[in-house]
Chain A
Amino acid sequence: MKHLTRRRVLASAAATGAAAVAGCLEDSDASGDGADANDEPPDEATGGSGALGDPAETVTVTVVMRPSPQFDPGIVHVEPGGTVRWEIEGLRHSVTAYHPETYGPQRIPDGVEPFDSGTVREGHEFEVTFEEEGIYDYVDTRRLCGSHEALGAVGRVVVGWPDLEGQPALEHDPAELPSRGETVMREYNDETWAALNDD
């Protein structure tokens, strides 16, 4: 059995610079009680399921290697101020906002700073807290010969109930993304319009 400490890489996307994060999350091992991070109360305490149309306060996405590199679920929905936690289940990946400062085109709202986990390996975690409504697209930038992006490892976080008009994530043409990155992102666009456009 693997003895892996869950490490967290944290990011908070705040609408204003004043929203400082209070402190690091307690590391489960360091806290000495051996509790798994998944057992922390906030996960189950509040909000919806995190599926599109049912925003949660906190939602977990697993980053898997099999059958192919991908984010599961690919789309999550959180309330403003909500947190998304990515848990790495196989080998090495990244959780990187689509933004010229981090990787690729801008597919996150204007004026927020892009997040980037860097390479995170199995047994480690990455978290982002999203303060501002909008659509945040991200990608696993890991590349061996082909890229995880080209294999379809792209994801989307919907925060709140944003006006879909003017969202960079929806204005950008997915045809610029490679191979299955484009295919999967088009599916996300269809799902997003279907779920959020009727009000």
Chain B
Amino acid sequence: MTPINNPRRRFLQTVGATGALALAGCLEGDTAEETTEEDSNGDQNGNGTDGDEGLPPAEEPDVDTIAADPTDIPDPVDWNEPRTHEWRIQTEEHVAEIEPGVTTLFMTFEGQVPGPFYRCRVGDTVRLEFDVPDDLNDDVHNIDFHAVYGPGGGAVDTTIAPGEGTEVIEFQTKYPGAHIYHCAPGNHDQHISLGMFGTILVEPEDGLPEVDREFYLGQHELYLEGDTGEDGHHAFDFDAAADEDPDYVLFNGEFGRFTEEGEAGPLHAEVGETVRVFWCNGGPNLVSGPHPIGNVWSQWYRDGDVLSEPAQYIEGSAVPAGVTAIGEMEMEVPGPISLVDHALSRLVHKGLHAQIMVEGEEDPEIFNPDP
């Protein structure tokens, strides 16, 4: 990952009939402004009295984004006999932007929120090497897989302080389903809130039905100092977490990243396709009500149960914190599908929003905007 510039504070656009632009001076001004602010706070910082009012300035992000790519999912299982996987997972703490000018210190598996999507078949064995490198971590971490029989789902034997060296555990996946994994270090809520959760999919012996596309999104709440949208660096707020009163509820640690206005833009699908969404609700606290605006979950695998027959044509469901559910949709007509938690204050006020832009032929028999 590469460093990025300071969050945009403002930009200046000079517009002319000739197209000549005079931008450079003012873009530089952003940096100058940042410096000025830091200078003006310098004495306070030096005297240790900063923080009475407002937030410290936004910090320089370590990474372009903390958000995982929702399309970064391993291929479906194509083997018929148990096999052994060797996975290596390291924890990484990074400063990243929630939205422009708003930063926090995220905690992650492999530098992304949610952590990587792991995929295997029931009966497979996983040999896991777990590391907490001291150049990337200040805190103790571990990993608890809900797909594992054993103490703490593996957490007891993977608990490492930074730089202590790697731990290795081995487990057999005895039961299928989509399951959460997460950090469980004592302050579970803090570490999960800040990004330490993800999905392990244990496919049943016969696999899952084939689909055209799969997406993987991680919902979580951020409990932070300061107000939603306030410029500056927001430290974790343990009291707000205890009150379950988040400042942000997000997919993948970033405000509306996968929307038309977001940095990455909407996800993509095409008319005629079947799309599967893995809705990983890390929490740490809130129950999610997944709903696809402009579509329906034609197959809904409640709580990630892949053995029971899925429910059909579900508008929404309840996904508790610490559960990955699976929904499938048919792409019947073009246009945007908004993926929301139907507790809609989280959409309007707190940033939880992703879109799938469906491209293809209109079908006026199914939907006609102007009959």
Contacts and interface: CB of A to CB of B under 8 A. Distances in A.
A51 to B, nearest CB: 25
A113 B21 CA distance: 10
A55 to B, nearest CB: 20
B329 to A, nearest CB: 15
A94 interface: yes
Contacts of B22: 20-21
B14 interface: yes
B92 interface: no
A111 B16 CA distance: 8
A3 B230 contact: yes
B261 interface: yes
A24 B12 contact: yes
Contact of B14 (A14, A27, A118, A132): A14
A85 interface: no
Interface stretch (B32-40, B157-165, B216-224): B32-40
Interface stretch (A71-79, A139-147, A163-171, A190-198): A139-147
B229 A19 contact: no
Contact of A7 (B21, B55, B101, B336): B101
Contact of B17 (A8, A27, A111): A111
Given A23-B29, A144-B347, A8 B14 contact: no
Interface in B231-272: 231, 259-261
A8 B340 contact: no
A12 B15 contact: yes
Contacts of B353: 144
Nearest to B9: A7
A41 interface: no
Nearest to B351: A92
Contacts of B226: 3
Interface stretch (A42-50, A119-127, A154-162, A181-189): A119-127
Nearest to B338: A145
Contacts of A14: 14-17
Most buried by A among B14, B55, B229, B338: B14
Contacts of A21: 12, 14, 22, 26
Chain A interface bracket (under 10, 10 to 19, 20 to 34, 35 or more): 35 or more
Contact of B15 (A2, A11, A24): A11
A149 B243 CA distance: 36
B16 A23 contact: no
A24 B24 CA distance: 11
Interface string A110-136: 011111101101111000100110000
B99 A121 contact: yes
Contacts of A4: 227, 229-231
Given A7-B10, A30-B40, A141-B261, A16 B18 contact: yes
B344 to A, nearest CB: 8
Contact of A27 (B33, B293, B338): B33
A151 interface: no
| B-side interface mostly | loop
B366 interface: no
A113 B12 contact: no
B44 to A, nearest CB: 13
Contacts of B18: 16-18
Nearest to B28: A24
Contacts of B348: 91, 144
A18 B20 CA distance: 7
Contact of B261 (A7, A15, A119, A132): A119
B15 A5 contact: no
Contacts of B227: 2, 4
B209 interface: no
A32 interface: yes
A31 to B, nearest CB: 8
B10 A32 contact: no
B99 A17 contact: no
Most buried by A among B25, B36, B231, B260: B231
A32 B17 contact: no
B17 A15 contact: yes
Given A19-B14, A23-B26, 5 more contacts: A10-B10, A17-B19, A115-B13, A143-B336, A144-B347
20 contacts: A2-B230, A3-B54, A7-B231, A10-B10, A10-B12, A14-B14, A14-B16, A17-B21, A18-B16, A21-B12, A27-B33, A29-B40, A30-B33, A91-B348, A91-B349, A115-B13, A116-B13, A131-B16, A143-B261, A143-B336
Interface of B: 9-22, 25-26, 29, 33, 36-37, 40, 53-55, 99, 101, 226-227, 229-231, 259-261, 293-294, 336, 338, 340, 347-349, 353
